[in-house]
Amino acid sequence: MLAVIEIFEEDGDSSLMFEDEYAAYTIDVDPGSKTYQSRMSRKDDVYYRTEKFEYRIRTTPVRVEVRLLERLDEPPPDRYAVKDGVVLESEILARSRDFLASMIKRFIADLKKEVEWHEARVGDPVSMYLLSRHSDIISPDDYRRYLRQLSEKIKIGTQKVEKALESDEMGLQVTDEYESFGRTIWYPRAKQDQMSDDEIKKALEHHHKIQKQLFDEKSKEYVGISEGEFRSCKEILEHVETFLNKLPNSAKKREGQKVSFGIKFGAIVIQWVSLFIVVFIALWLIVTVIQFNFTFAFVVSGILASFLIFLRSNK
């Protein structure tokens, strides 16, 4: 399932929202401090993860580097795994005790990598969005050139993979049938279902060999993209098109502004009527004492009410 991306930019606010089959993400960016906050919510569970990252942009070649500053897992009890760029290893171990010790060690090791500067995943919508927010570093023209070059790199790399497999001795091919793996090199599901265990074992050995030939940068047959880029090529190309045709989704905000305007106008009317009544009653009481006429009280009440509303609205 391709991620659905929405971009919101208005009045200096900047946010990116996207979701996939499993979770929804909200990214709030602060270009001034070069930080962003990522809020993830699982669709199949009551679970939230809030992370704060620092980022920096390199231009030769263009890339985004990030490091994790903070991570909070919810719901209560809220559990911090990272604070101030430091992995809270002692707290993680205390909470987990001996439960799935090997997984906890791997989790801690992964966090320690994240708190160090590292390159953001190529084709990730967050890195594309961060680049779009810094015309002071990468001009709009250079940004679009970067996206076009990335698109061509992915397309050409995929074509080279398909060309290489045309003469594969075991008939491997490019397939999108296994969605959890992304685009992969294997057999159609119908053929796999007819294969014996021995045939699958031999095919897997050949598959690993082909993967290394095509995606290892040191290989003579290297196609110019990594295995991860190949697996995610459909998503990357979709993201590129989204940002090339980026139209900030401010329609909802404008709709909200229309509603707000209606509410504000209604509130002003109510305030005017209320003040009119108060002033009118006050003047009516004066009228009964000093014998001014009714029309005078009515006109003066309207003028004073309007003047008081004007003063309140310009505070």
* Residue-level pLDDT at 24: 93
- The confidence band for 236, taking pLDDT boundaries of 50, 70 and 90, is very high
Token representation of residue 240 = 């590129």
Give the global pTM: 0.73
Distance separating alpha carbons of residues 125 and 18, to the nearest angstrom: 9
Q: How many CA atoms lie less than 13 Å away from 24 in the CB half-sphere?
A: 8
Distance separating alpha carbons of residues 64 and 95, to the nearest angstrom: 34
- Residue pLDDT, tens place only, 96-126: 766 677 889 999 999 999 999 999 998 899 9
Task: Concatenate the DSSP letters of all residues of 66-106 into one string.
Answer: EEEEEEEEESSSPEEEEETTEE-HHHHHHHHTTTTHHHHHH
Amino acid at 206: H
Listed in sequence order, the residues at least 6 apart from 248 whose beta carbon sits closer than 8 Å to its beta carbon are 7, 8, 9, 10
* Residue-level pLDDT at 293: 58
Distance separating alpha carbons of residues 200 and 71, to the nearest angstrom: 41
* Residue-level pLDDT at 122: 86
- The confidence band for 171, taking pLDDT boundaries of 50, 70 and 90, is very high
| Mean pLDDT of the region 152-160 | 97
Q: pLDDT at residue 254 above 60?
A: no
- The confidence band for 179, taking pLDDT boundaries of 50, 70 and 90, is confident
* Residue-level pLDDT at 276: 61
- The confidence band for 310, taking pLDDT boundaries of 50, 70 and 90, is low
Distance separating alpha carbons of residues 230 and 228, to the nearest angstrom: 5
Q: In this structure, what are the phi and psi dihedrals at residue 98, rounded to the nearest 5 degrees?
A: -100, 10
- Residue pLDDT, tens place only, 39-50: 999 988 888 999
* Residue-level pLDDT at 100: 72
Q: Are 22 and 50 in contact (CB under 8 A)?
A: no
